Amino acid sequence: MNDQHFYFPYPGGKILELNRISSLMPNGIQRVIEPFAGGGAFVFSQNKQAWLNDNHPEIANLYRNLGRVFADETNIMIDEIEHWKSKDAKIALGLINSKPLDDIDRASKFYIKRHLAYRALFTPTAPIDLRRSVRKVNWTDNLDNLWKRAQTTELDAFELLEGLETKDEDFIFLDPPYTVGWRGYSKGYDFGPNHQKRLASWFRETKSKAMIIMIAI
| pTM given for the model | 0.85
Q: Which of 42, 60, 15, 11 is nearest to 211 (CA)?
A: 42
Q: Concatenated DSSP letters for 45-109?
A: HS-SEEEEE--SHHHHHHHHTHHHHHHHTHHHHHHHHHHHHTT-HHHHHHHHHSPPSSHHHHHHH
Q: What is the DSSP letter of 140?
A: -
Mean pLDDT of 88-111: 88
| Cα–Cα distance measured from residue 72 to residue 93, given in angstroms and rounded to the nearest whole number | 21
Which stretch of 23-32, 60-69, 108-117, 189-198 has the lowest confidence by average pLDDT?
189-198
Tell me the percentage of the chain whose pLDDT exceeds 90.
31
Is there a contact between 12 and 41 (Cβ–Cβ < 8 Å)?
Answer: no
Q: Decide if pLDDT at 20 tops 60.
A: yes
E strand spans, 110-169 = 151-153
Q: Decide if pLDDT at 71 tops 90.
A: no
Q: Decide if pLDDT at 40 tops 90.
A: no
Say what the pLDDT of residue 172 is: 96
Q: What is the DSSP letter of 12?
A: T
Q: Decide if pLDDT at 4 tops 60.
A: no
